[in-house]
Amino acid sequence: MNASTTAPLPYRYRSADDAIDLFAHIHPADGPPLLLMHGLTRNGDDFDPLVPRLAGRYRLIVPDQRGRGRSGHDPDPSRYRPDVYAADMFRLLDNLGIDRVALIGTSMGGLMAMLMAFQAPERVAAIVLNDIGPELDPVGLRRIQGYVGPAKSFADWDEAADACAAINATAFPDFGPADWLAFARRTCRMERDGRIAFAYDPAIADSIGGDTPGTVPPDLWPLWDALSATPTLVVRGALSDLLSPATVAEMARRHDGPFVAQDVPRRGHAPLLDEPEALAAITPFLSRWWPA
């Protein structure tokens, strides 16, 4: 199937707890299914740079997690947690008749990938973790806590792009105005009054606050140890303040199965995954462990 002529199909479904309506884009293909899961304040559009590199070879499922993008907001913010998101993802896969899948998870999406592989190892063929692991650097965690919060809006897309740059400039030091505008259009949405706002429920801030945030379980190493047979690729931004080289090295030491690690230069948290170094790792990894 030719990716250039195949438009993504919108797909709506109910959450695992039947509480809210959720949204995903499905990119049809004859190849095996690949589930792409975004980070805390992002949505499925975060994978727009990567999708063209994989579409046509894989059946891509790209959801907006609850409280993000085109999915409904949860009236109970305590449910903004990886275990709840993972249950939603299993519901989505069940609805689509998918028994086995490979996972790509950015940041929070990577935590979900690890949890899903732990809960149902027979359903997960391989996982790609984008700048995330079982131990998070407190520096990066505090940075994320600092910008997730009360709703903000912007007069136009240029102002939104400036806001995105102010938050993420250290992660993408080579970005220019056009890059930040594209970033804003993936991360924000236009409200009914014509103003631009980040495309997430501000209440997700409740899940990331404090010394023991609900979004990050307190000790993920036992979870990681349970995944030692799962083929895993870790993509790390070389400038990352969330995933340290020491953590990646420990992940490799404790992993008995296939394990690959790749740094992406001039990227912090988190790479877009369309970088040459990221693609040079992702493409052969998937070809080996989840061949199209």
**pLDDT for the residue 37:** 98
User: Cβ distance 113 to 230 under 8 Å?
Assistant: no
Q: What six digits make up the tokens of 147?
A: 């910008």
Determine the Cα–Cα distance for residues 94 and 129; give it in Å rounded to an integer.
23
Of 224, 291, 284, 227, the C-alpha closest to 260 is: 284
- pLDDT on residue 146: 77
Distance CA 204, CA 217 (A): 15
User: pTM score, two decimals?
Assistant: 0.95
* Inter-CA distances, 207 with 58, 82, 109, Å: 33, 10, 15
Per-residue confidence in pLDDT tens, the chain, 292 aa:
444 447 899 999 999 999 999 999 999 999 999 999 999 999 999 999 999 999 999 999 999 999 999 999 999 999 999 999 999 999 999 999 999 999 999 999 999 999 999 999 999 999 999 999 999 998 888 888 877 867 789 999 999 999 999 999 999 999 999 999 999 999 999 999 999 999 999 999 877 766 666 667 678 999 999 999 999 999 999 999 999 999 999 999 999 999 999 999 999 999 999 999 999 999 999 999 999 9
Predicted pLDDT of residue 214:
63
pLDDT of res. 44: 98
Give every CB contact of residue 214 below 8 A, 6+ residues apart in sequence: 78, 80, 81, 206, 207, 208
How is the beta sheet containing 153-154 ordered, strand by strand?
153-154, 196-198, 188-190
One-letter amino acid at 249 equals A
| Residue whose C-alpha is closest to residue 114's, from 232, 13, 196 | 232
